[in-house]
């Protein structure tokens, strides 16, 4: 079996590795480091948690052991998609370069430009940055990339998901053509393949596992929850999650819970805290200092549940995460592999539980298609969820309906006898019409005629809207009609005046 001592690394690096407690390299480290020390470009494809970071940090330190950095011209560049992943690379560099005099600078968002400018002005051997903040410094004239000897792109597929590919291409154009390039990705999308063909020169391709596969040390489980209204799905998931956490008991030492939206991260963290569970959120909208403190508490074991968005799916290197929960199934199937890869790291066992409602079926199909196997189904926890509210009893509902009907029909019933009496008086033979009734009867005929004219007018307007003919003729035939006033036409408008 290959040992680190067989890889021709710098003795100072080997000493730091031994002090960290490592003796045997992982498969990707054993295969990538020899090619990197020879000066070849490396294309590494491996699942998360396999030791990719050390596979480029160790040969990078060995190569930079000779030479000196110049102001504003870093000797090497490491690009990471998120602040957390960049900070993880910086921590690895500090661990393995502690016996050397190499310097580093970390350029990430959420930190003042002034402190970062001071580090760059002094000159650094290793510059670790996110693409956006790196270009900010370059455009301000504080940074030159013409002295880069080694360039590393970590988690390139995540760069693609976050829309950083145009920035990556621009940064490649700012570095020397003679640089050595390390390119690492968990999956190889067509766009990633295009970039590697463009910017890498005859790379050593190292593929440790089939693309987008989960570690065999992770026990996966899918919990299918009953159908419900869209606005009630989150509530059902929260109840199910609390029940699962309670059922796991002491086996759940700590856990990362992933949500698709930042709003859901905050809501879930507040809900778990309200139910006396130790939880805290982390996502891109939080201040960087708060995110750093939260991660430090989680790593130190002071925080049990970390509620995270996909910003934390890459870059969280906590060796002893016992559980991962997918509160929401990810919309991109590759993210499922990276999420559950936070547990079961470095040969340890872990458990990943995903919650699903029927509306998530398309996401599940994409994940199972990527993994080329079906996720094991688990038993849903015992909860009183998904049951409709009980309807009122029939004997109680019937009187209410009768009461409401009788109340609404009461005025009509009261008017009915009065109408009948009035009709009897008018229709009775031999009864002369009362003088006060005559105006009402006279007004009734014009109302009927007016209603007919209104119907003709509406028909005329409808034909006009369709471009029909005969419009002017109908208006001429009804020239004397007054339309548009409904049943409330004043009497004086209906009277005819003849000349003497």
Q: Where are the alpha helices (DSSP H) in 151-275?
A: 156-161, 165-174, 190-199, 230-248, 262-274
User: Confidence class of residue 441 from pLDDT cuts 50, 70 and 90?
Assistant: very low
| 33-36 own/partner pairs: CB under 8 Å, 24+ apart | 33/7, 33/9, 33/58, 33/59, 34/7, 34/8, 35/204, 35/206, 36/60, 36/63, 36/180, 36/182
pLDDT at residue 457 in the model: 46
Most confident residue range from 241-245, 299-303, 379-383:
241-245
pLDDT at residue 395 in the model: 43
Closest Cα to residue 31, out of 204, 203, 186, 215? 204
Domain spanning 218-371, CATH class: alpha beta
pLDDT at residue 180 in the model: 95
Lowest mean pLDDT among 343-347, 405-409, 446-450: 405-409
pLDDT at 391 > cutoff 50: no
Lowest mean pLDDT among 241-255, 349-363, 483-497: 483-497
pLDDT at residue 283 in the model: 85
pLDDT tens readout for residues 71-130? 889 999 999 988 888 988 999 999 999 999 999 999 998 788 888 899 899 899 999 999
Q: Can you give the residue ranges of every domain in the chain? A: 4-207, 218-371, 438-500
pLDDT at 398 > cutoff 60: no
Which residues lie below 8 Å from residue 371, measured CB to CB, with a gap of 6+? Answer: 212, 213, 214, 333, 336, 337
Lowest mean pLDDT among 207-221, 264-278, 467-481: 467-481
pLDDT at 421 > cutoff 50: no
User: What percent of the chain clears pLDDT 90, i.e. is strictly above it?
Assistant: 44
- What CATH topology corresponds to 4-207? Rossmann fold (3.40.50)
Q: Do domains 4-207 and 218-371 have the same CATH topology?
A: yes
- Across the chain, what does the average pLDDT equal? 79
pLDDT at residue 160 in the model: 83
């Amino acid at each position: 079996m290959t040992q680190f001592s067989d890889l021709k690394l710098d003795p100072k690096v080997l000493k730091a590795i031994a002090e960290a407690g490592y003796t045997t390299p992982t498969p990707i480290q054993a295969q990538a480091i020899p090619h990197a020390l020879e000066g070849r470009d490396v294309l590494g494809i491996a699942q998360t948690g396999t030791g990719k970071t050390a596979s480029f940090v160790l040969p990078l330190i060995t190569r930079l052991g000779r030479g000196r950095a110049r102001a504003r011209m870093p000797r090497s560049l490491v690009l990471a998609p998120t602040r957390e992943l960049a900070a993880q690379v910086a921590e690895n560099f500090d661990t393995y370069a502690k016996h050397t005099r190499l310097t580093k600078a970390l350029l990430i968002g959420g930190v003042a430009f002034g402190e970062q400018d001071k580090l760059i002005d002094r000159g650094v051997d290793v510059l670790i940055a996110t693409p956006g903040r790196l270009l900010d410094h370059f455009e301000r004239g504080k940074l030159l990339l013409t002295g880069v000897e080694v360039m590393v792109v970590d988690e390139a597929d995540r760069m693609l998901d976050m829309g950083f590919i145009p920035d990556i291409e621009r940064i490649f154009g700012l570095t020397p053509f003679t640089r050595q390039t390390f390119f690492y990705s968990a999956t190889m999308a067509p766009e990633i393949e295009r970039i590697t063909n463009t910017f890498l020169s005859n790379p050593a391709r190292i593929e440790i596992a089939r693309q987008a596969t989960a570690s065999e040390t992770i026990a996966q489980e899918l919990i299918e929850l009953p159908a419900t209204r869209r606005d009630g799905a989150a509530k059902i998931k929260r109840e199910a999650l609390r029940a699962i956490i309670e059922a796991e008991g002491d086996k759940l030492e700590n856990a990362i819970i992933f949500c698709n939206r930042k709003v859901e991260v905050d809501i879930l963290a507040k809900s778990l805290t309200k139910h006396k569970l130790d939880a805290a959120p982390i996502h891109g909208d939080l201040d960087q200092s708060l995110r750093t403190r939260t991660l430090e508490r989680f790593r130190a074991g002071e925080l049990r549940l970390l509620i995270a968005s996909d910003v934390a799916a890459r870059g969280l290197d906590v060796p002893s995460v016992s559980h991962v929960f997918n509160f929401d199934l990810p919309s991109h199937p590759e993210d499922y592999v990276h999420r559950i890869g936070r547990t079961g790291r470095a040969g340890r066992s872990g458990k990943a539980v995903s919650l699903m409602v029927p509306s998530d079926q398309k996401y599940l199909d994409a994940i199972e298609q990527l993994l080329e196997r079906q996720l094991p189904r688990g038993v849903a926890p015992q909860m009183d969820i998904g049951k409709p509210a009980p309807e009122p009893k029939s004997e109680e509902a019937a009187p209410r309906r009768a009461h409401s009907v009788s109340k609404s029909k009461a005025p009509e019933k009261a008017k009915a006898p009065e109408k009948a009496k009035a009709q009897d008086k008018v229709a009775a033979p031999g009864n002369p019409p009362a003088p006060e009734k005559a105006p009402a009867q006279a007004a009734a005929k014009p109302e009927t005629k007016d209603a007919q004219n209104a119907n003709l007018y509406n028909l005329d307007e409808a034909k006009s809207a369709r471009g029909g003919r005969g419009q002017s003729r109908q208006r001429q035939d009804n020239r004397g009609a007054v339309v548009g006033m409904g049943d409330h036409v004043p009497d004086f408008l209906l009277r005819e005046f003849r000349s003497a």
